[in-house]
Structure 1
Amino acid sequence: MDLLIPIKENKDFRRIYARGKSYVSPVVISYVLKNRSKNVRVGITTSKKIGNAVKRNRSRRVIREAFRTLVPEIAPGYDIIFVARGKTPFVKSTDISRAMVVQLKNAGVLK
């Protein structure tokens, strides 16, 4: 893979939500959209529905760690957003990683 770039701009998040394909599991939602570069761009969001700041931060950390293990297998040229769900702060990164593998295989992102 060439580069892993974080998605930070609100317009990018909105574009991926609008045009991307979503894949849902009880622990995480993935939005995937093909981009025109050779880079993989990743964003993680957690809403206030998840809980207080501690739970939201744990959700982000767990999602980031689960994704980190999958990085070598991801094909270049995709924008991916992961959205935390209510169960996310209470599960381990291995559980989230399993859900991500299923979602990203369905999306055709994994090599």
Structure 2
Amino acid sequence: MKKEYRVKKNKDFQEIFKKGKSFANRQFVVYSLKKPGQAHFRIGLSVSKRLGNAVKRNQIKRYIRQAFHELEDDLQQEYDYIIIARKPAATMDFFEIKGSLVHVLKLSKVLKVRKALSKSEQ
């Protein structure tokens, strides 16, 4: 994922936590904050040490980044997102993680719902 697509600064994380809206399911918590005039979305990831060793945490982050890359065209572009992984995410494979992210993003109404997308997910 390109540098301009990432939220890295603590100040940005805190602003999204305070002003953004949060939605959750068993595996993920997603905070989203609309940033008018922003050309594309940005994501920040948080994967706790409780989820496993460094290899496992990095694998989860790679899966989340890849899922966002595949959903790029369906996401609203003027948003910043923070994704917090919960314990069940540690035992999931890529397709389960992507499905779970699609679910929580639909709850937050930032994912454009397309019938072709939902059929391919099942």
Q: TM-score surpassing 0.5?
A: yes
Q: Which residue number in structure 2 is paired with residue 47 of structure 1?
A: 48
Q: CA deviation at 1:83?
A: 0.9
- Give 3-state SS (helix, strand or coil) of 2:71's partner: helix
Query: 1:67, CA displacement in angstroms?
Result: 1.7
Does residue 75 (structure 1) correspond to residue 76 (structure 2)? The answer is yes
1:12 is displaced (CA, Å) by 0.5
**Structure 1 CA distance for aligned equivalents of residues 61 and 107 of structure 2:** 23
Shift of 1:63: 1.3
Report the TM-score when normalising by structure 2: 0.80
Q: 9-18 or 48-57: which moved more?
A: 48-57
The count of residues paired between Structure 1 and Structure 2 equals 108
- Identity, % of aligned pairs? 38
Equivalent-residue separation in structure 1 for 2:90 and 2:55 (angstroms): 9
Stretches of structure 1 that go unaligned for 5 or more consecutive residues are none
- Residue aligning to 2:19: 19
Moved over 2 A (4+): none
* 8 A Cα contact 1:17 1:31, kept in partner: yes
Could you tell me how far apart the structure 1 residues matched to 2:103 and 2:90 are?
A: 20
Q: Is the 8 A contact 2:23 2:104 kept in 1?
A: yes
Q: Equivalents in 2 of 1:82, 1:59: separation in Å?
A: 11
Q: Is the 8 A contact 1:46 1:56 kept in 2?
A: yes
Q: Which has the larger radius of gyration?
A: 2
- What secondary structure does 1:87 align onto? helix
SS at match of 1:38: coil
Distance across 2 between alignment mates of 1:68 and 1:93: 13
AA aligned opposite 2:24: V
Decide whether the 8 Å contact of 2:28 with 2:104 is kept in 1. Answer: no
What code does the residue aligned with 2:21 have?
A: K
Q: Using the alignment, how far apart are the partners of 1:98 and 1:26 within structure 2?
A: 12
TM-score (norm 1): 0.87
One-letter amino acid of the structure 2 residue matched with residue 82 of structure 1: I
Given that 1:28 and 1:96 are in contact with CA atoms closer than 8 Å, whether structure 2 keeps it comes out as: no
